[in-house]
Amino acid sequence: MERLAFHLQIADGKRDAYREKHENVPEALEEAYLESDAGVETYSVFEKEGHVFGYMEVENPDVIQEVMAESEAQAEWAEEMAGITLESDDSWMDEVYRMI
């Protein structure tokens, strides 16, 4: 099992919109992740003061990153989130410490 994390920022004044969108994440997006060969074990998103931290544990990180980069469901979600989150060329984070 491999651990992945990403960081995004929410545009000024869009925090409520961000949280509202996540109350009803499209089923097609969840299915794209869960039905891929990534082996998603867990996926959580945290937010504080406009900073978003996503964390997931997967069997195959290359597959989930491909789904997130190329799936139709992800593209549709990106359209919904346009203007809510700030653009980023690379939001993936490096793990710098792990106790267990």
Contact 73/13 with Cβ under 8 angstroms? no
Q: What is the mean pLDDT of the chain?
A: 96
Q: What is the mean pLDDT of residues 41-49?
A: 97
Q: Give me 6's structure tokens.
A: 């990403």
Q: So what's the pLDDT on residue 16?
A: 97
Phi, psi values for residue 46, rounded to 5°: -120, 150
Is 88's pLDDT higher than 90? Answer: no
Rounded distance, CA 85 to CA 42, Å?
Answer: 23
